[in-house]
Amino acid sequence: MKVICEKEKLLKAINAVVRGVPTRTTMPILEGIFLQTNNDKLKLTTYDLELGIEFVIDSEIEEEGNTVVNAIMFSEIIRKLPDSEIKLEVNKNKLLVIECEGSLYKLSTMNPEEFPELPKIDIEKSLEMEQIDLRNMIKKTIFAVSNEENRPIFTGCLFETNNNLLNIVAIDGFRMGWVSKNLSKETEDFSAVIPGKTLNEVNKILSDSYDSIKIGISKNQSVFEMENCKIVTRLLDGEFLNYRSVIPQNWETRIRVNKNNLQSCLERVSLISSSSIEKEKKYPVKITIDIGKITLSCTNQTSDAKEEMYIETEGKNLEIGINPKYFLDALKVVDDEEVFIEFGSNISPCIIKPIEEIENKYIYMILPVRMKE
């Protein structure tokens, strides 16, 4: 194998595929990047047996071939090389020779025949959308994915299409994030749960561009395809929660509030909620709603805090305890200047939603925390 390619292109490919390298594995071959030539293309592949990533770049191919090289060592060397053309060659001793201006490195390789093939996916349903839209939708939901492996279905996001509307939903048992987007291209209805780990990596590869991305779904696999990148992942088994049925339809108290002001107040009060003296202990924040005013307060063993804001209120006065992190996670991804927050009783879920019905609809539902008397 003899290849000449631009450092910028090669590094972009490495940065994408390295996300498919497992952090721990008993199979050394999976710690490598599979390099493979085809005509005037160089394809880089990684696969941890659950998530596989391919990236293809234009290259000058002097001799066809393939090899597997340790991902960490290869990526670190390429990253630090001069911004110039890079020559890759597998010599007769099966070492990968890397040349760039005055730099010369030789790395041991692994047998490419031992590298597992990515699953071949027989796509049953698919959708196409702009990368910037998918990136925003993942960002607005991924924080609510569960980390609890005893409920694996909630460690992923539900992708659901209905009448050309894409819904992405994440639930961790204490909160829910739900965003919707109308699709411009005709799409068949489907439902699939994609691992949160995969979506995190997909989001790092996506660009803030209007370039398209295709998402294909089969019985137990999904594939994300961009211009020169393909990401393959398994789907999660199980039945996702009927999320629509758990959203309260009526409210007893509703506030209209400036998102940034509320976020700033919560960030200050949460300094007391997560006291540095008692690192493991988290204290709830109490929200008190009176006519035209909201008060946020928190007390721990050594300190207390109170923040007041004058706002628009409707309905009953209310006292409720919240986990400030859950509120902040939601507020940080809301782009709107103002939001509605709707409450039932002090033990009912509260809802963060937009002031007006908009195309890119979102709803965040957060369970309250019981306050000690």
- List the pLDDT tens digit at each of the 373 positions of the chain: 999 999 999 999 999 999 999 988 899 999 999 999 999 999 999 999 999 999 999 999 999 999 999 999 999 999 999 999 999 999 999 999 999 999 999 999 999 999 999 999 999 999 999 999 999 999 999 999 999 888 999 999 999 999 999 999 999 999 999 999 999 888 999 999 999 999 999 999 998 889 999 999 999 999 999 989 999 999 999 999 999 999 999 999 999 999 999 999 999 999 888 765 555 567 899 999 999 999 999 988 888 999 999 999 999 999 999 999 999 999 999 999 999 999 999 999 999 999 987 766 999 999 999 877 6
pLDDT of residue 275: 61
pLDDT of residue 273: 81
**CB-side neighbour CA atoms (13 Å) of 271:** 11
Q: Which residues pair with 229 in a beta bridge?
A: 55
> How many residues can be counted in the chain?
373
CA 342: distance to chain centroid? 27
88 burial level (CB within 10 Å; 0-12, 13-18, 19+): buried
Report how far residue 173's alpha carbon sits from residue 171's, in angstroms, rounded to the nearest whole number: 6
Residue tagged 């009783």 (tokens): 345
Domains of the chain: 2-114 (3.10.150.10), 125-241 (3.10.150.10), 247-366 (3.10.150.10)
- Kind of pairing between the strands at 66-70 and 32-38: antiparallel
**Joined tokens for residue 229:** 């990148």
Could you give the angle at which helices 7-17 and 71-80 cross, rounded to 10 degrees?
A: 150
pLDDT of residue 302: 83
C-beta neighbour count of 115 within 10 angstroms: 21
pLDDT of residue 354: 95
> What DSSP character marks residue 236?
P
Q: Which of 237, 241, 221 is CA-nearest to residue 172? A: 241
pLDDT of residue 149: 85
